[in-house]
Structure 1
Amino acid sequence: MTDFPSKEAQQKLLIELAHAKMPFGKYKGKYLVNLPEFYLIWYRQKGFPKGKIGQQLAQMLDIKINGLEPIIYNIQRKFEKR
Structure 2
Amino acid sequence: MKQEKPHILMRLCQEYMPYGKYKGTMYCDLPISYLEWFSRKGMPQGELGMLLSTMYEIKLNGLDSLLRPLRKSASHN
TM-score band, normalised by shorter chain: 0.7 to 0.9
State the percentage of identical aligned residues: 36
Amino acid corresponding to residue 42 of structure 2 in structure 1: G
In structure 2, distance between residues paired with 1:63 and 1:81? 23
Unaligned ranges ≥5, structure 1: 1-8
Residue 27 of structure 2 corresponds to 32
Q: How many residues align?
A: 73
SS in 2 for 1:67: coil
Paired position in structure 1 for 2:16: 21
TM-score (norm 1): 0.76
Q: What is the RMSD computed on CA atoms of the aligned residues?
A: 2.2
2:51 aligned residue:
56
TM-score (norm 2): 0.80
Residue 79 (structure 1) shift: 4.3
